[in-house]
Amino acid sequence: MTEMQARDFETVAELRDAFPSAFMVDGTLNLSGQSGIRTLPRNMIVEGDLRFDGCSDLLETPDGLEVMGSMRGGRCNSLVRIGQANVRQDLSIARCDSLDEISPDVAVGGLILFHCANLEYISPAVRVRGSVSLSYCTGLNAVPWEEIKGYFNAVGCTGLNDLPSQFSVESFIDISSTHGLELRDDVICGRIIARRCKDLKVSEGLVARLSGDIDLTGSEYTLTAPPTEEFSPGPA
């Protein structure tokens, strides 16, 4: 681990001078375990993966970031913002308790957020081309996407109070250990896992349509009837 006074890096050349071993031959930039990085250069291009696990001084990722591989950061205690970025593969952020903003100008292959308790909102403008995992993000109160091209995981997201209307997920949905959610008849997916949920409402029509591909083990749930059309009499 390199110990240095926290500073703002304005150019890639400055970053390379300070951390030459972080620049890998395959294009990966591995800054994991490095202190002293408060900000990274804007408009930076990373030809491989970007790693910044344990960068305790990092406040935000830079705007204009282009990552050809994946991007991963964990246990970055000062991180408050994910800036504008295009990440070809997955963006994975874990146990960054101060994170409270993700730029709406983010595009990623897949989004993985784990134990980011302070994050309350994700803009629907954030583009995710694949799966979404938001496990144990207890401050999050809404899911911004109506369609997900992969799986959707919201295990332990106890702050979620609703799922999108006409929610369509290409693979499976896992909402285990959530409180007060409703699985309506308009949910479309291949399988649902909803274990140990509290105050869960589940559409009878959805259960029938999934034909056993729904796991409610250990959940407190009630079945709800599908909506009925109101009868309006015609002219006499």
Residue-level pLDDT at 5: 83
Q: What is the pTM of this model?
A: 0.93
Q: CA–CA separation, 100 vs 165, rounded Å? A: 25
Query: C-alpha distances in angstroms, 232 versus 47, 226, 227, 229, 235?
Result: 63, 19, 16, 9, 10
The reported pLDDT for the residue numbered 1 is 43
Which pair of tokens denotes residue 231? 């009868």
In a domain, 119, yes or no: no
Q: Structural domain of residue 199, as residue ranges? A: 130-226
The answer to whether residues 3 and 36 belong to one domain is: yes
- Give tens-digit pLDDT for 45-95: 999 999 999 999 999 999 999 999 999 999 999 999 999 999 999 999 999
Number of domains into which the chain is organized: 2
> What are the b/e assignments for 207-225, b being 16+ CB within 10 Å?
beebeeebbbeebebeebe
Q: Do 19 and 81 fall within a single domain?
A: yes
Answer yes or no: do 74 and 139 share one domain.
no
Q: Are residues 184 and 137 in the same domain?
A: yes
- 222 shares a domain with 144: yes
Is the residue at 28 inside a domain?
yes
Looking at the fold, whether 12 and 93 belong to one and the same domain comes out as yes
Kindly indicate the confidence band of residue 232, based on its pLDDT and cuts at 50, 70 and 90.
low
The stretch 130-143 carries a mean pLDDT of 97
Using one digit for the tens of pLDDT, what is the confidence trace for 38-48? 999 999 999 99
